[in-house]
A = this chain, B = another copy of it.
Amino acid sequence: MPHGRPALPAALCALACLLAGAAPARPSQTPGPLPATDGADDWLAPYREISRRLLRAAQADEVGWHRLAEMTDTFGPRLSGSVGLENAIHWAADRMRADGFDVRLDPVMVPVWVRGHESAEIVRPWPQPLAMLGLGGSVATPPQGLEAPVLVVRSFEDLDAVGATARGRIVVFNASFTSYNETVQYRTAGPSRAARHGAVAALVRSIGPRGHRTPHTGATSYPPGVTLIPAAAISAEDADQLQRLQDRRTPVVVRLTITARTLPDAPSSNVIAEWRGRERPEEIVVVAGHIDSWDVGTGAVDDGAGCLAAWEALRLMKTLGLQPRRTVRLVLFTNEENGLRGAQAYRDKYLHELDDHVMMLESDIGVFPPLGFGFTGSPGARARVAQIAQLLQEIGANRVESVGGGPDIGPSAQVAAIPSLSLEADDTRYFPVHHTHADTVDKIAPDEISRAAAAIAVMAYVVADMPMRLDEQ
C-alpha cells in the first residue's frame, strides 16, 4: 500500500503561481489554480495550442520508430547481464546526449540468467519435438536431460486433486489463456506448486493467445524451501496435444533438457535524461519504460516501444522549445523482466526526492494503438489527468482507466504515494508476441510510436507545467 505524503507547502505554491504568470515565452495566460468546482478546466486553456503543436510535431516524422528499429536490429535482445543490453544502454545514452540532454547512467547490479541449450520432446508414443522456451530463472536438468511420464492438469485444483500422481512426473499446466492477469499464475507459481507434489519438472502452457506454435517465456519464482525443478513454457498447440494424448489414455513420456545457469550479478544501469524545469526544477515528472527485455525476439514491443515513446516525448518538448516549469525526467529502467533491480535502485537512490515526484508515468503494455492512460492516485489528481487526456481526443488517446502505474515506477510510487500513470494501449496485438521470438519492430507501425509519444508528451508537459501540482487539493 502507498504511504502518505506531506502536501506541498502553500507558500511555495503561491510563489510558484505568481512566477508562472511572469515567465517569458510561455503560455502567458496560464492562470493560477482555480476552485475545483467552478470553471475547473480554464487552467487547461493555454495548453490547447501547445498540445496541438506537440501532436503535430510527433506525427510529422518517424524518428521514434526508426530509432527503435536501429536499436533492436543492431543489438538484438537485451536480457539483464547481456552485452546486448549494455550496448543498447550506451547507445541510448549517446543518442540522448546528441539530442542535447543531460544524461547519466545510474549503476545497478542485475541478476544474470543464461538460457543455454534447451529442448523438449515427446519420447513415447513416438519421438517428436515440442515447441518450448525455458522459463527465466529455471534451474537446469541433468546435462543429458530428464525423462519422465507426463501428467496434464488444467488448474491448480486439478493438481491438488491428483496430488500423489504427480510424484516423479513432468506436470503440464494446460490452462487456456483468458487474460494475462488470470493465467500468469501458472507460469509464476506453477513450477513450485508442481515441485511440492513431487514433480520432477513443470511445463506451462504459454501465457498468451494461440499463435503459430509460439512459446512465451517469462519469469518463474521458487519460494524458499521448495525444491527447485526445471520449468519451461510450451506452445498452446503442444499443451493441447499432450492433453489429447492423455485423454486417449496414451502413455506419454517427455524428455526435457535445460542447461540454463544463474551467474553472479553483473553491472548494468538505469538511463536518466532530464529536461530541466524552468521554475521548479526540483519537482519531477518521470516518464519511463524499461530497456531490458527477455532474450528472445528483440524486445521491440516489450519494452523498446515504451522506451522510445517516452524518449520521444522528451525530445519533442525540447525540439519545440517547450521547457515546462518542472523537470521532466526520462528513465529507461534496467532489469524489469527478471528482478526489478533498476526499479529498486531508482527508489533507493532518489528516496530523498520522491516527495517531489509530481507524477510517474510508465509505458509497458505496447503502444498499438495508444488509447489513453491508467491512473492511480487521489480523486483530485485523477480529475486533472482526465481533463488533460481530453487534449488527446484527436489521436484517440483520451481514456483514463481506473488503475495505473507500472512495474518500474511501482516501488518508488508506493513509498511516496506518487500519482502513477501507465500508457494504456489496445493489448490485442501485444500479448500474441509478448515474451516470444516474434517480439520484433515490424509489429509496431511508425505512427503508433508517434502517437504514444504525443500522448506522453502532452500529459507530461501539462503536468510539469501547470501552476498547481497534480495532486494539490
A contact set with B: CB distance below 8 Å:
69-70, 73-77, 83-84, 87, 122, 125-128, 131, 210-214, 236-237, 240-241, 244-245, 248, 250, 297-298, 432-433, 436-438, 440-442
Contacts and interface: CB of A to CB of B under 8 A. Distances in A.
A240 B442 contact: yes
Contacts of A83: 126
A298 B131 CA distance: 12
A244 to B, nearest CB: 5
A136 to B, nearest CB: 17
A298 B237 CA distance: 11
A253 B426 CA distance: 37
Given A212-B433, A436-B212, A245 B73 contact: yes
A74 B241 CA distance: 9
A308 to B, nearest CB: 15
B126 A241 contact: no
8 contacts: A73-B244, A74-B126, A76-B128, A131-B437, A210-B442, A211-B438, A213-B438, A241-B441
B240 A74 contact: no
A440 B76 contact: no
Question: Closest 9 A-B residue pairs measured CB to CB?
Answer: A76-B128, A212-B438, A213-B438, A212-B212, A211-B212, A212-B214, A237-B440, A213-B437, A73-B241
Given A69-B244, A74-B245, A212-B436, 8 more contacts: A73-B248, A73-B250, A74-B126, A75-B126, A84-B126, A211-B211, A213-B440, A240-B442
B237 A84 contact: no
B213 A297 contact: yes
Contacts of A212: 211-212, 214, 432-433, 436-438
- Residue of A83, A128, A212, A214 contacting most chain B CB atoms (<10 Å): A212
A76 to B, nearest CB: 3
A213 B436 contact: yes
A277 B436 CA distance: 54
B250 A128 contact: no
A77 B131 contact: no
Contacts of A73: 241, 244-245, 248, 250
Given A70-B248, A128-B84, A76 B433 contact: no
Contacts of A250: 73-74
Contact of A298 (B128, B236, B438, B441): B128
Nearest to A443: B237
Contacts of A248: 70, 73
